[in-house]
Amino acid sequence: MYQTVGHHAIDLYAEAMALPLYRRTIRGRSLDTRQVYTKCEGDEVEDLYELLKLVKEKEEVEGISVGAILSDYQRIRVENVCKRLNLQPLAYLWQRNQEDLLREMISSNIQAMIIKVAALGLDPDKHLGKTLDQMEPYLIELSKKYGVHVCGEGGEYETFTLDCPLFKK
């Protein structure tokens, strides 16, 4: 459920946006893998619950944004945590057309670099370090050829955002 590649640099996001950063070690693991999540001690979702509970207390947060595009697994778990904490889940990317979404991210000046590849047609020697802008035509080609999710929703690749309109520095 969590992206781990590049997590050591996540503090740079907080610095770039001039926002506080809250982190928690994930002690749990994926125990309840059913479609509908039920609170389960020792599950990684409970680590998210505890972290968001703290954030809500400290920052008076009212909603949580989830980046899921197609993953019911991720969306349902975030919605479960939000319901228990009386937070509004925000899933603005949910079921968006991935080609349109990728183009929108690029045209919005989001500069994200590929830092992990794990799909047929993606080669670490060729594609690591490339930006989504550079990869867009090739990702669309891979989608047509192999069914690769253009936005990496199936874990085909992971990115690290180098710059975006939310960054103040």
Question: Three-state secondary structure along 124-154?
Answer: HHHHCCCEHHHHHHHHHHHHHHHCCCCCCCC
Q: How many CA atoms lie within 13 A of 15 on its CB side?
A: 5
Ordered domains of the chain (ranges, CATH): 7-90 (3.40.50.620), 98-163 (3.90.1490.10)
The tens-digit pLDDT sequence of the chain (169 residues) is: 566 778 889 999 999 999 999 999 889 999 888 889 989 899 999 999 999 999 999 998 999 999 889 988 889 999 999 999 999 999 999 999 999 999 999 999 999 999 999 999 999 999 999 999 999 999 999 999 999 999 999 899 999 999 999 999 8
Strand-strand pairing, 157-163 and 111-117:
antiparallel
pTM summary value: 0.86
